[in-house]
Amino acid sequence: MNLIYGTYNPSKLESMIKMLDGLDICLTGLQSLEIKLQEAEESGKEPLANATQKALTYYEQLKKPIFSCDSGLYFEEVEEEDQPGVLIKRIHGNNLTYKEMVGYYSNLAGKYGGKLTAYYKNSICLIMNKDNIYKYDGEDIWSEKFYIVDKPHKIYREGFPLDSLSVEIKSMKYYYDLEDDDSENLGVIKGFRDFFIRSLNTCK
């Protein structure tokens, strides 16, 4: 099964390929296409609304099976004005670069004592054709809770800037320092795999 992942982010594509390893799915990203696509508005207040907007926008142009994901970042102990939600990169009306995101969230963690308890609320919309559209934002594809801290790790990965600030709660180690190769996915692998297995079986 050939699927297009509706993202231009090579790090996200690589991560999803690893998560779906062993399934009969061949993924390509938008950067491999030779046409210029109109990008989605992403005006939703929840991740699933934005994932759906992106998938529909790309499907209408490509007419090929495609899925898009979206995430919101949520903290447990911040004032409402500091809660990013779906506006992870768009802070106070400004679109931050990946490097600027590290600086901003490092400073935000410092504001609240050096660390913030965080989780990602993930969502996905898969469009096989106009009659088979699958949407999901169940908690099994949300991340586990982790800390965003004020001191960045020495490793920086373009496309996943906040991984440099992410610390596992149980071990108090940066995810980059854990030996488990799957640790960077924050516990979402099974949920995403189950979604694709379920959706593609339904579509047969």
What's residue 183's pLDDT?
57
Mean per-residue pLDDT, 25-44: 91
In the numeric block, the tokens 């991740």 are attached to 47
What residues have CB less than 8 Å from 31, skipping those under 6 apart? 8, 10, 13
pLDDT in tens, 48-105: 999 999 999 999 999 999 999 999 999 998 999 999 999 999 998 899 999 999 999 9
Count other C-beta atoms under 10 Å from residue 64's C-beta: 15
Amino acid at 41: E
Residue 181 has pLDDT above 80, yes or no: no
Which candidate, 127, 123, 188, 133, places its Cα nearest to that of 3? 127
Residue 169 DSSP SS3: coil
pLDDT for res 184: 59
In our burial notation (b when 16+ CB lie closer than 10 A, e otherwise), range 149-185 reads: bbebbeeebeebbbbbbbbbeeeeebbbeeeeeebbb
What's the CA gap between 11 and 159, in Å, rounded?
A: 5
For residue range 131-175, list pLDDT tens digits in order: 999 999 999 999 999 999 999 999 999 889 999 999 999 999 999
* pTM for the whole structure: 0.91
Domain annotation for the chain: domains and CATH numbers:
2-203 (3.90.950.10)
DSSP assignment letter at 175: G
